[in-house]
Structure 1
């Protein structure tokens, strides 16, 4: 069956095409009698306006692209929900795509978004410098970094205060008597992993702690499991770069009959949904994940609508959550 056009609606209602357009877009006054005729014709013909064509005429598609690096990481569903909840409220649509921590794929996604005339990009990428982003910003494409700051690229961002979060955790562990540490961190090229490592190193030096180690891995359960399976000499505490790493460490150590927290304490970072239900429940640093997504979407629309003209950074406060995996 042929799809009804705006011309068909005008013919059915006995009005001009411009009158139908004014009714659909609510752009100027149309008397009530003609308005009712147009609405009845639209209903009868099951007419659906071409939203993309309308958007392009107005210069906005009311669509935002969102790049995430790992769709399997439970950190991201809540952050995506925060973004989408705000955008829905404002009448925008979200296009979500996963880069699988691959810079080449990330670039393809960005180019696809641009080809679809999106109004802006919320970006949580691989963490590696991407020259395509810099060129797009120079061309005026609206970009907000979420949980990322990329060196050499000047753009607005929303992050959690990683420094204060890891520092609060370290102070708690130190005040609990811990004097030997192993930090199993995430991806080296990500902003959050680097800041947490720098803060960890500063703390070790400040407290004159001699027994400490650090390793970059990736933010995954498998990375934690592999570490826990192979570690020979246990410290007093193992700090996971995120909750997934901590889960892997806990499982592999328990398989080796190592008790947590009796033999070694384990901590995470994020406080994703399962952390309070894990066995033992996980001591971690709670990121305001949903709020980060919500604030990023809010900032994006302020930039699009000209209400935020200067580059802005929003830094949200984390919270230490103490549970059973530490003593």
Structure 2
């Protein structure tokens, strides 16, 4: 079957090829009568312009990339969903890459994306910093999501990690908890650092000195491992995210420790499964979908040379009280 070209469409519509191009690429105004005539012929013939050739002419590839530390983490998947829904409106394809918490993998991915000439990048780093990473990141139109990097003047979209953590710790203190353990994610990441500050500041405000802090990764396995290493079980185990909390609850059960009768456990995210966990998880709700959608909107403005009025976006969180925390 012969491939339909722009010249074939022009001949059938009795217009010039440049008119067809203007209709397809929306590059210049065309009268309503001509546009409708061209679109009718395009529909009849099922014509689809060569995306690669069109991108070369326009200087855009209509692709953006989203790099995350762990594609299996539902939190990241839900953020990606928000970004994807925005880009769909503009027929922009989204490439998703997972670094598996590896600095070397992040650098390999960024090198690869540079060669593909993506129009822009959404980036959730694994906590790695350094001149090589910064040099690669500087090559992109970029918006950071759930992260903020010192020394890189690019927009970011985050939730209010500090206030969210303060709210859940304050609730625990006010319900009679006197000893605490914080099980956190990657040390040095923006979210883990802000949650640590909220945890420590709240305990300091209430004059509580009985606490421990531990860092690992934002994973189920990390939560289980860190709990298995605890010598003493506190009144409350505060977790850096919901996955850590799931692992902590299961590891406590293996140790014969009842949640919440002997120890309260809290998370941070409010993943869809958290209300169904046993016991249902007290946590801090993050607006993950909105984080993805807003970061995509900002990146789209940057790609199209438009003004980004607000480069630092901090979205509110909300405490969600369920069965995994008990009044002491």
State the TM-score, normalized to the length of structure 1.
0.90
* Preserved CA contact (<8 Å) 1:280 1:324: yes
How many residue pairs get aligned? The number is 325
1:6 deviation in Å? 2.9
2:156 match: 157
Give 1:29's aligned residue.
Answer: 30
* Residue matched to 1:81: 81
Provide the C-alpha distance between the structure 1 equivalents of 2:223 and 2:192, rounded to a whole number of angstroms. 15
Q: SS where residue 182 of structure 2 aligns?
A: strand
- Structure 1 residues 5 and 131, CA gap change in structure 2 (3 angstroms): farther
Contact (CA 8 Å) 2:214, 2:226: kept in 1 or not? no
Residue 119 (structure 2) aligns with? 119
Alignment check: 8 A CA contact 1:9 1:38 kept:
no
How much does 1:310 deviate? 6.3
Confirm or deny: 8 A CA contact 1:68 1:124 kept in the other structure.
yes
Structure 1 residues 52 and 198: alpha-carbon distance in aligned structure 2, compared to 1, 3 A threshold: same
Q: Using the TM superposition, name which of 228-237 and 69-78 deviates more.
A: 228-237
Q: For 1:58-108, what per-residue CA distance to the aligned partner results, in whole angstroms no more than 9, with x for missing partners?
A: 233332211111001111121111111111123322121111111122122
The answer as to 2:318 corresponding to 1:295 is no
Contact persistence 1:19–1:30 (CA under 8 A): no
CA contact 2:169–2:203 (8 Å) conserved in 1: no
Partner residue, 2:313: 314
**Residue 57 of structure 1 corresponds to which residue in structure 2?**
57
Cα displacement (A) at 1:292: 0.8
Paired residue secondary structure (2:208): coil
Change (3 A) 1:185 1:22: closer
| Matched position secondary structure for 1:64 | strand
C-alpha contact (below 8 Å) 2:183/2:214 kept by paired residues: yes
1:258 to 1:138, Cα distance in 2 relative to 1, 3 A: closer
Q: Which moved more, 1:121-130 or 1:165-174?
A: 121-130
Gaps of 5+ in 2: none
Q: Is the 8 A contact 1:67 1:97 kept in 2?
A: yes
Give, in angstroms, the shift of residue 14 of structure 1.
Answer: 6.5
Extract unaligned runs of 5+ from structure 1.
none
2:229 aligns to what? 230
Distance in structure 1 (CA, Å) of the matches to 2:295 and 2:149: 16
| Structure 1 range deviating more: 65-74 or 55-64 | 55-64
Q: Aligned residue for 1:147?
A: 146
TM-score by length of 2: 0.90
Q: Residue 196 of structure 1 corresponds to which residue in structure 2?
A: 195
The Cα shift of 1:115 comes to 2.3
Change (3 A) 1:178 1:152: same
The answer on whether the counterparts of 2:181 and 2:236 sit within 8 Å (CA) in structure 1 is yes
Could you tell me how far apart the structure 2 residues matched to 1:130 and 1:142 are?
19
Question: 1:138 Cα deviation (Å)?
Answer: 5.1
| Aligned equivalent of 1:96 | 96
How far apart, CA to CA, are the structure 2 residues paired with 1:123 and 1:45?
40
